Amino acid sequence: MAQGFFQLAIALAILLAVAPFLGTYMARVFMGLRTLLDPVVGPVERLLFAAGGVAHQRSMTGGQYIRAILVSNLVMATFVFIIFMLQGGLPLNPTALDAPNWDLALHTAISFVTNTNQQHYSGETTYTYFSQVGALGFLMFTSAATGIAVAIAFIRGLTGNALGNFYVDLTLSITRILLPISIVGAIALVIAGVPETFAGPAVAQTLEGATQYIARGPVAHFEIIKELGENGGGFFGINSAHPYENPNNFTNLFTNIIMLVIPAGLILTYGIMAGKPRQGWLIFGMVFIFYAVLIAIAAVGEFQGNPLVNSMLGEQAPNLEGKEVRFGWALTALWAVSTTGTMCGAVNGMHDSLMPPGGFATLSDMFLQIIWGGQGTGTAYLFVFLILTVFLTGLMVGRTPEFLSRKIEKREIVLASIILLAHPIAILIPGAITLAFPETLAGISNPGFHGISQVIYEYASAAANNGSGFEGLGDDTLWWNLSASFSLIVGRYMPIIALIYLADSMAQKQPVPETAGTLYTDSFLFTGVTAGTILILGALTFLPVLALGPIAEGFAIAKAASGG
């Protein structure tokens, strides 16, 4: 027990040490300040801007920024879909794979362009090396960079500055952040034992004389951007539980931290860009506490194990079902909360095998979307909650609702409401339809309350741009591919559109001077009220689903174990 919780403490301490450095660096990048990479990537960026016809200094309006996002994402998704449908005749196909079904190809293209990477397939048996590297790997960079660009534009708007140029922000996110870290990280993973080869499957003769084919491929560089960009889509079907994606405790800790550093750092980036580092640290601390509490909930549930199994054993034992023994209960719980909190979606164990507290923690992560949230978009969601808190507390105490010296009015509240309503719409409506037809649509592989969690988890994962799943669900069907695509699109683009319009609206407001009635947002009290607002809004929206899923399942297991 002590060793497991010590491992958790080490991971949290490393995150606290690394996040400030990356947060400061990202602020310098997007504020146009000098960085160490200027001499290396500066000429490359200027060449890219010239070739793309991008006016480096021309800022976009909210409408222009949104159109740039939607058009570029549509073009990229179409390009990748075509690659999937033609992959049988393209190079780097050592296992002679044909094109997948059109609905699976469509779902995969939408899933990866939205930074979700939800997989209704096994990578090694469905997509070729060319598709995985040239198509999916390409989207892993661009979709993550799109999220970072949205966060930076949102921060600029909140602070009264112009939104900036989407194509410039997209390029800087790749050349200054994602690509340099990925190059160094991929080399570290290769040294640690992750393969990087275009050779076909290895062939081995077993002791019984049978022939075994061992899938491999260019995994290391795919793995690093999968975690860094909060993509989560695995090169192999079992994702980071596969020994070629995650062979040992070093790679497990390294990739776990890597998936956290950008969303954690972006909160501190806000504090620097807004000139309010104290507020950045307060918000960081609030999210960190949420994160640590959910880790504790999941870890304690896995450590205590299944009471039904314990009663048969005659002793208390951790729940090791669905886990890799090289990671155990503690690091699996840590990873599960990290991957659903960051919207990464990679898994090093089967979430379907988590005890009810683990299911509660992972679902709560995706319902709230701010612990630490999606790549860039999670940071923006945080400030939507801050704006709502300013408005609500202003109404309660009779103070002017202002945020960063700009009034919060009807337009901002309407846009904030749209952002928060898009998520339950994308989860609860298709979830209700699916559960209404469990035999024909759902594909549930678990009975009772766990089956409800299985369905809701899939749509929550899609809407939150996460991608993980309660595996065992029969999700490679026409219904699941198309309905999950609906949740992917609504969960990604409706909030982004509202976020950019909200930032644009704030940028156009004239700052108002501080008065005795101004509500200060960089205080412990206001941060605590914000935490309460997040919990209340999340509970009001999703508590019934949690009650029907993991909470009811936990009571049912406890009752059965007690002989009731």
Interval 287-307: pLDDT, tens: 999 999 999 999 999 999 998
Tokens of 367: 């319902």
Backbone CA torsion sign across 405, 410, 411, 412? positive
Backbone CA torsion sign across 469, 473, 478, 479? negative
Report the distance separating Cα 340 and Cα 361, nearest Å.
9
User: With contact defined as beta carbons under 8 Å apart, do 232 and 346 qualify?
Assistant: yes
* b/e per residue 359-398 (b: at least 16 CB within 10 A): bbbbbbbbbbbbbbbbbbbbbbbbbbbbbbbbbbbbeeee
Sites in the chain below the pLDDT cut of 50: none
Q: What is the pLDDT of residue 446?
A: 79
The residues pairing with 407 across neighbouring beta strands, listed in sequence order, are 402
Tokens of 240: 């980071």
Q: What is the pLDDT of residue 93?
A: 94
SS (H, E, C) 324-356: CCCCHHHHHHHHHHHHHHCCCCCCCECHHHCCH
Q: Which secondary structure element, helix H or strand E, spans residue 202, and what is its range?
A: strand 202-205
Q: What is the pLDDT of residue 378?
A: 83
Domains in the chain: boundaries: 21-261
Predicted structure pTM score: 0.94
Tokens of 153: 């534009």
Q: Pick the closest to residue 301 from 351, 260, 372, 239 (CA basis).
A: 351
Report the distance separating Cα 226 and Cα 125, nearest Å.
19
Distance (Å) of CA 405 to CA 3, 162, 415, 511: 48, 16, 19, 5
User: Around Cβ 552, how many Cβ atoms within 10 Å?
Assistant: 17
pLDDT in tens, 27-75: 999 999 999 999 999 999 888 888 877 766 688 999 999 999 999 999 9
Q: For residue 250, with 0-12 CB atoms within 10 Å meaning exposed, 13-18 middle and 19 or more buried, which class applies?
A: middle
Report the distance separating Cα 254 and Cα 144, nearest Å.
19
* b/e per residue 48-63 (b: at least 16 CB within 10 A): bbeeeebeeeebbebe
User: With contact defined as beta carbons under 8 Å apart, do 205 and 181 qualify?
Assistant: no
Report the distance separating Cα 366 and Cα 106, nearest Å.
23
Report the distance separating Cα 229 and Cα 225, nearest Å.
5
